[in-house]
């Protein structure tokens, strides 16, 4: 899983850094040796790290189409690789945004009003237990093959973890914290804004981290259908077209982006809820 | 706001029962009690006798099964800012620093920035925490957290302060220092205080009136004036604790508790 990878990459001591560099060098060397050998043939199926780097650079620049033709093209499939990435990230951003706007209030309501939570709980559990990609067929039938169906898919993938984490957070709020703020003169609304929401924030942020992981895997898979521009779509298409170096470049970009996203969320968790685990 | 400050608290025929796993628990049995404004009432009794239940009823966290509680003639219908509560476990909010915790009461009632800052300063000074206002509650020791909680309650300016064994978890030295501090605060602010404790010495030392409660169902079995805390002579605490009058009262209160203490085979 993404968080595990991110943890191994978080480097503290210089000695740790050295070990990481060493490991990385070993991996690169092994990769170069395999691609140089005849283990995999034809050779283009096993590009070397350098070839992957070249494919990465080409995909981010104007470059001649090759094969003796003079035409110069923009990146891959008309977009630079980073543009493919931005399109995928944008889809995630919108999907997650909607999931937060729907999931947090829903979780608050389900956590606050037990009977309401008991009533809707099974449905949220049900939605969570379904692999999001199972919806893609009927979402395409409903919303077409463009972005709408992909965003819907991301909302469906992201809102159950957010809602469940919010419910969990609300139920974990100590009764006396609510009582305390009431005896300080808080109105019903102030109880929610001054205690319930901040007390639930750490759980909402953890839910968000899980949701981002879900959404990222889902968007890449969702782009198998009419996914261009999109980093997942490009990874898939280039693979089917035997552009293995480009495909691997895309995969590396996907992996590193996921790690970076998680790192950003972990940092914001620490800045926004520094009391987590301490109080 | 300008109504006369009749803030006497009256409990008439208050009874409380609640459901537990092993059937109904009769927690309180017809309590009749009046707290006069400015009184420092201490309530002692064996653990599990319903002291905390009584406090939570007064705070408005729950309603009595029967009987009525009034504050200034008005029935209690829920928590209110005129009744501050100091909990056994400090319930400071970790998302606010100590200062913002103390200033929360004024903030909730819409006080301006300057007033909030002045109030926070005043009460942080009062409990000796002005140096740590910028820290988060979890960065303080247990005693400091309890002082911060007391400052927060006082800053909200309640007429009545309900304290539920606030010093129960503290070491003896911290406890004695906080007792002295609390007396100073009480003399300066003139609040009505109800202070629950399981320590007889603490009850006698602090209270102007000491109450003892029986085991379940809780009843008031001793209601006795004690004037050590309000003594004009202001004897130093160590000497006060050695006074014959003090030890006599302690013995009497202890006697009342032991007289009603359940036989040892029963779980406390």
CB contact under 8 A, A176 and B87: yes
**DSSP element (H, E) containing A83:** helix A81-112
The closest alpha carbon to A161, from A218, A112, A119, A224, belongs to A218
CB contact under 8 A, B136 and A275: yes
Average pLDDT over residues A152-163: 92
**A100 burial type by CB count under 10 A (0-12 exposed, 13-18 middle, 19+ buried):** buried
Pull the structure tokens for residue A203. 């759980």
Of B83, B108, B137, the CB nearest to A186: B108
Distance from C-alpha of B98 to C-alpha of B148, rounded to nearest angstrom: 7
Residues of A whose CB is below 8 A from B81: 183-185
DSSP B109-152: TT--HHHHHHHHHHHHHHTT-GGGTTS-GGGS-HHHHHHHHHHH
pLDDT in the model for residue B1: 41
Of B81, B91, B136, the CB nearest to A177: B91
Of A177, A179, A199, the CB nearest to B61: A179
Shared-domain flag, residues B107 and B136: yes
Give the ipTM: 0.86
pLDDT in the model for residue B2: 38
For residue range B133-155, what is the model confidence (pLDDT) as tens digits? 999 999 999 889 999 999 999 99
Residue B185 forms part of a structural domain: yes
CB contact under 8 A, B136 and A201: no
Q: Output the CATH code of domain A81-272.
A: 1.10.3720.10
Average pLDDT over residues A34-57: 83
pLDDT in the model for residue B3: 45
pLDDT bin (cut points 50, 70, 90) of residue A224 is: confident
Of B79, B94, B138, the CB nearest to A179: B79
pLDDT in the model for residue B137: 94
Average pLDDT over residues A239-265: 91
A60–B contact, CB cutoff 8 A:
no
Residues of B whose CB is below 8 A from A181: 93, 104, 108
The closest alpha carbon to A276, from B151, A193, A268, belongs to A268
Residue B268 forms part of a structural domain: no
Task: Spell out the domain ranges in chain A.
Answer: 2-74, 81-272
The closest alpha carbon to A75, from A94, A55, A91, belongs to A55
Among B157, B190, B211, the domain-final residue is: B157
| Strands A69-74 vs B74-75: parallel, antiparallel or unpaired | unpaired
**Phi/psi at B80 (nearest 5 deg)?**
-150, 155
| Strands B40-44 vs B209-213: parallel, antiparallel or unpaired | parallel
pLDDT in the model for residue B261: 56
If you measure CA to CA, which chain B residue comes closest to A186? B108
B52–A contact, CB cutoff 8 A:
no
Shared-domain flag, residues B150 and B241: no
**DSSP element (H, E) containing A64:** strand A62-66
- Extended strands (E) in chain B: 9-20, 23-35, 40-44, 66-71, 74-75, 83-86, 160-164, 192-197, 209-213, 220-225
Domain carrying residue B90: 84-157
Shared-domain flag, residues B136 and B191: no
Measured in angstroms, the CA of A275 and the nearest CA of chain B are apart by 6
CB contact under 8 A, B79 and A174: no
Distance from C-alpha of B53 to C-alpha of B18, rounded to nearest angstrom: 10
Of A180, A182, A275, the CB nearest to B95: A275
pLDDT in the model for residue A200: 94
Residue B138 forms part of a structural domain: yes
Shared-domain flag, residues B15 and B53: yes
Domain count, chain B: 2
If you measure CA to CA, which chain B residue comes closest to A202? B95
Shared-domain flag, residues B9 and B40: yes
If you average pLDDT over each of A8-22, A29-43, A91-105, B14-28, which comes out highest?
Answer: A91-105
Shared-domain flag, residues B76 and B185: yes
Query: Residues near A246 by Cβ (< 8 Å), separated by ≥ 6?
Result: A55, A56, A58, A59, A76, A234, A238
A179–B contact, CB cutoff 8 A:
yes
pTM across the whole model: 0.80
CATH number at residue B39: 3.40.50.300
pLDDT in the model for residue B73: 87
The closest alpha carbon to A168, from A194, A212, A206, belongs to A206
Low-confidence ranges of chain B (pLDDT < 70): 1-6, 231-234, 260-268
Average pLDDT over residues A271-275: 89
Shared-domain flag, residues B12 and B145: no
Residue B266 forms part of a structural domain: no
For residue range A185-200, what is the model confidence (pLDDT) as tens digits? 999 999 999 999 999 9
Shared-domain flag, residues B172 and B216: yes
The closest alpha carbon to A262, from A225, A210, A223, belongs to A210
Residue B117 forms part of a structural domain: yes
A71–B contact, CB cutoff 8 A:
no
């Amino acid at each position: 899983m993404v968080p595990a990878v991110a943890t191994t990459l978080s480097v503290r001591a210089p000695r740790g850094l050295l070990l990481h560099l060493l490991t990385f060098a070993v991996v690169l060397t092994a990769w170069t040796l395999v691609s140089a050998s005849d283990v995999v043939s034809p050779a283009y199926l096993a590009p070397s790290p350098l070839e992957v780097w070249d494919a990465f650079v080409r995909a981010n620049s104007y470059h001649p189409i090759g094969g003796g033709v003079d035409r110069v093209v923009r990146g891959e499939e008309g977009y630079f690789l980073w543009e493919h990435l931005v399109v995928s990230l944008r889809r995630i951003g919108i999907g997650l945004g909607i999931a937060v706007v729907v999931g947090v209030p829903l979780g608050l309501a389900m956590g606050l009003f037990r009977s309401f939570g008991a009533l809707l709980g099974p449905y949220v559990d049900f939605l969570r237990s379904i692999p999001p990609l199972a919806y893609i067929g009927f979402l395409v039938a409903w919303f077409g093959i463009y972005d709408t169906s992909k965003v819907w898919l991301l909302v469906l993938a992201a809102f159950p973890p957010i809602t469940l984490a919010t419910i969990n957070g609300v139920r974990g709020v100590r009764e006396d914290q609510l009582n305390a703020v009431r005896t300080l003169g808080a109105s019903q609304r102030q109880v929610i804004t001054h205690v319930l929401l901040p007390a639930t924030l750490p759980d909402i942020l953890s839910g968000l981290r899980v949701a981002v992981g879900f959404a990222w895997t889902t968007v890449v898979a969702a782009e198998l259908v009419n996914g261009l521009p999109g980093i997942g779509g490009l990874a898939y298409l280039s693979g089917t077209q035997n552009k293995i170096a480009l495909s691997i470049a895309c995969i590396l970009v996907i992996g590193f982006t996921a790690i970076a996203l998680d790192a950003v969320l972990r940092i914001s968790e620490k800045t926004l809820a520094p009391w987590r685990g301490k109080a | 706001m300008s109504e006369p400050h009749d803030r006497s608290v009256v409990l008439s025929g208050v009874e409380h029962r609640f459901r537990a796993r092993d059937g109904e628990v009769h927690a309180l049995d017809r309590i009749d009690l009046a707290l006069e404004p400015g009184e420092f009432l201490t309530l002692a009794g064996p653990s599990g006798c319903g002291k905390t239940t009584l406090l939570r009823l007064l705070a408005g966290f729950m309603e009595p099964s029967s009987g009525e509680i009034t504050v200034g003639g008005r029935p209690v219908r829920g928590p209110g800012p005129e009744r501050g509560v100091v909990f056994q476990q400090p319930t400071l909010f970790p998302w606010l620093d100590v200062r913002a915790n103390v200033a929360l009461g004024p903030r909730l009632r819409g006080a301006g920035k300057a007033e909030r800052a002045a109030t926070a300063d005043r009460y942080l000074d009062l409990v000796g925490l002005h140096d740590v206002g910028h820290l988060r509650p979890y960065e303080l020791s247990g005693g400091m957290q309890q002082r911060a909680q007391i400052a927060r309650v006082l800053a909200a300016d309640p007429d009545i302060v309900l304290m539920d064994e606030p010093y129960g978890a503290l070491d003896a030295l911290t406890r004695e220092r906080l007792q002295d501090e609390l007396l100073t605060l009480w003399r300066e602010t003139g609040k009505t205080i109800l202070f629950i404790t399981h320590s007889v010495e603490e009850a006698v030392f602090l209270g102007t009136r000491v109450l003892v409660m029986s085991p379940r169902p809780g009843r008031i079995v001793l209601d006795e004036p004690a004037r050590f805390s309000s003594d004009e002579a202001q004897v130093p605490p160590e000497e006060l604790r050695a006074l014959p009058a003090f030890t006599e009262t302690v013995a009497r209160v202890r006697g009342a508790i032991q007289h009603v203490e359940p036989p040892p085979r029963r779980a406390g």
